[in-house]
A and B are shown apart, each in its own frame.
Chain A
Amino acid sequence: DSGVTQTPKHLITATGQRVTLRCSPRSGDLSVYWYQQSLDQGLQFLIQYYNGEERAKGNILERFSAQQFPDLHSELNLSSLELGDSALYFCASSVGTGGSTGELFFGEGSRLTVL
């Protein structure tokens, strides 16, 4: 158990809809990262938050947004969903205090299926 909790584990929805994925980081971790895993693209970095502020941005679509709340949990919002958004979405957390130990702790993922 990594200590990172993601909900829901599975989600099936229709094109055009909007969903919210939730992540609770490990106790004490200040950084949260979102990744998208698909068969064709592999693991793509979406966005990172550190202590409530956006720290780094990757290949995140404009239809997607994220935030980190004062209690450090994070939400990834996906809107106007398309078939191609079907993927496994991972949240990870790290201490994120500067310098780099490099170890990210991953949740078990939220599998999104868009029909």
Chain B
Amino acid sequence: AQSVTQLDSQVPVFEEAPVELRCNYSSSVSVYLFWYVQYPNQGLQLLLKYLSGSTLVESINGFEAEFNKSQTSFHLRKPSVHISDTAEYFCAVSEWGGSEKLVFGKGTKLTVNP
């Protein structure tokens, strides 16, 4: 079975500051890793994913995450945040060759203040 730990439930930052949202996972098998974002009153949207290859993955809106197998981590970073990045961010894993169901962390609420 897999599990995901998001260490921070809330992260307040000022606009244009850098941010890191932490994610650690536990699994007895190899996994795929994902970050999803949920804006207020909306469903979840895929932000980025790691399936294989380069351990650094990027999204189109400036976020990046690095897969670290030895530390079982997949932290999400952005060098300069905008007000519009205010949302809840969920880290998730799915099992290689499995059913594709995602196991989510409890989420980190990112609030960007002016």
> Which of the four size classes fits the interface of chain A?
20 to 34
The A15-55 residues at the B interface (CB cut-off 8 A) are 31, 33, 35, 42-43, 45, 48, 50, 55
The answer for the CA separation of A68 and B98 in the assembled complex, in Å, is 20
Chain A residue numbers with a CB within 8 Å of B103 are 45
> Which of the four size classes fits the interface of chain B?
20 to 34
The answer for the CA separation of A31 and B101 in the assembled complex, in Å, is 10
Q: Tell whether A31 pairs with B90 under 8 Å between CB atoms, given A90-B43, A103-B46, A106-B45.
A: no
Chain B residue numbers with a CB within 8 Å of A55 are 99, 101
Contact of B90 among A43, A50, A56 (CB under 8 A): A43
Q: How many inter-chain contacts with C-beta < 8 Å in the A-B complex? A: 66
Task: Say whether B94 contacts A102, CB under 8 Å.
Answer: yes
* 8 A-B pairs in the complex with CB atoms less than 8 angstroms apart: A31-B100, A45-B101, A55-B101, A56-B98, A90-B43, A92-B43, A100-B96, A103-B46
Known contacts A96-B100, A102-B102, A108-B41, then 12 further A-B pairs from the complex at CB < 8 Å, ordered by chain A residue: A2-B43, A4-B43, A31-B100, A33-B101, A45-B104, A56-B99, A100-B96, A100-B98, A102-B100, A106-B36, A106-B43, A107-B43
